[in-house]
């Protein structure tokens, strides 16, 4: 599933091509995504200018003059900029045609993503209860330590909770906990403030570095330009279960934690 760096990479990739452009038409070939695409989406957005292209958690928000298109890429979705009238492929479900001739094309083989419309994104059911963005000052060790005091859940699940902080998905939670030397099974309320300072630092550093190289391509992800991300080349633990730790050489452990694959080093993380 595309995580925060992949979604941010998509946002920055499509923005120069679509910002301040009017939508001429929305062509929907398949409405049955995770939630049904509204029948009236074409009418609501026609002749509306895209004023802002931003990201909130893993959602892309195209702010128009009278409302906002909410896009989630799900597990296999991608947005591509089409400038040469490329043929429509099997899983190209939506085209947003712009006045400059560019097409913003939504491709999603598994159809777990969504394209929705709202007049008030801040109060929309998908967005209203989200925690702070990890790359902002609102996400800091004081905040994370305070929120954790009554939470006995495993630290990995804690930092992956979108109500605590958004966008720290499975790949980057594994990597940040390894960098901070914290066992992913450790209860969130047992971790000291000093260790939270270290964890916050590495969450920010790893996410920022992943954005710089275009995210992580494990299966389906490509950015808005159709190119893959390269952060997977620097992964220390994710996807490396039962392989030697790059730091100490001991075999990495791998288990399911909250239904997600968790890899860590029992020697380096405690």
CA 32 from centre of chain: 22
**Band (181; pLDDT cuts 50, 70, 90):** very high
CATH of segment(s) 141-264:
1.10.8.50
Tokens of 257: 């934690």
Segments of the chain assigned to CATH 1.10.8.50: 141-264
Q: At 6, is the pLDDT very low, low, confident or very high (cuts 50, 70, 90)?
A: confident
Fold assignment, 4-123: N-terminal domain of MutM-like DNA repair proteins (3.20.190)
Q: Which residues lie closer than 8 Å to 11 by C-beta, 6 or more apart?
A: 53, 54, 55, 60, 224
Decide if pLDDT at 57 tops 80: yes
Residue 59 sits at φ, ψ, to 5 deg, of -100, 140
Catalytic residue numbers? Answer: 2-3, 58, 260
pLDDT at 214 (0 to 100): 66
With cut-offs at 50, 70 and 90, classify the pLDDT of residue 85: confident
State the pLDDT at residue 1.
62
Q: Residue 212's pLDDT band (boundaries 50, 70, 90)?
A: confident
Radius of gyration in angstroms for the set of CA atoms belonging to the chain, rounded to a whole number: 20
* CATH 3.20.190.10 segments of the chain: 4-123
Q: Which residues are annotated as a binding site?
A: 91, 110, 151
Q: Binding site membership for DNA: which residues?
A: 91, 110, 151
């Amino acid at each position: 599933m595309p995580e925060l760096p992949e979604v941010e990479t998509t946002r920055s990739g499509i923005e120069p091509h679509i910002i301040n452009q009017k939508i001429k038409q929305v062509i929907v070939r398949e409405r049955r995504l995770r939630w049904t695409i509204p029948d009236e989406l074409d009418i609501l957005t026609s002749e509306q200018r895209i004023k802002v292209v931003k990201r909130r958690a893993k959602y892309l928000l195209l702010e128009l003059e009278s409302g906002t298109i909410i896009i989630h890429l799900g597990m296999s979705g991608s947005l591509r900029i089409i400038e040469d009238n490329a043929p429509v492929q099997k899983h190209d479900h939506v085209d947003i045609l712009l006045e400059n001739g560019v097409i913003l094309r939504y491709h999603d083989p598994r159809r777990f993503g969504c394209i929705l419309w709202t007049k008030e994104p801040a109060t929309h059911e998908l967005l209203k209860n989200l925690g702070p963005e990890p790359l902002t000052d609102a996400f800091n060790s004081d905040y994370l330590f305070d929120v954790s005091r009554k939470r006995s859940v495993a630290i990995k699940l804690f930092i992956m909770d979108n109500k605590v902080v958004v966008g720290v998905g499975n790949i980057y939670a594994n990597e940040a906990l390894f960098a901070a030397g914290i066992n992913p099974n450790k209860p969130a309320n047992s971790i000291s403030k000093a260790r939270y300072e270290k964890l916050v630092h590495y969450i920010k550093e790893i996410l920022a570095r992943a954005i710089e190289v275009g995210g992580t391509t494990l299966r389906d992800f490509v950015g808005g330009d159709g190119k893959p991300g390269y952060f997977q080349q620097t992964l220390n633990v994710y996807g490396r279960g039962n392989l030697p730790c790059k730091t100490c050489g001991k075999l990495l452990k791998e288990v399911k934690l909250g239904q997600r694959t968790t890899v860590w080093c029992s020697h380096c993380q405690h």
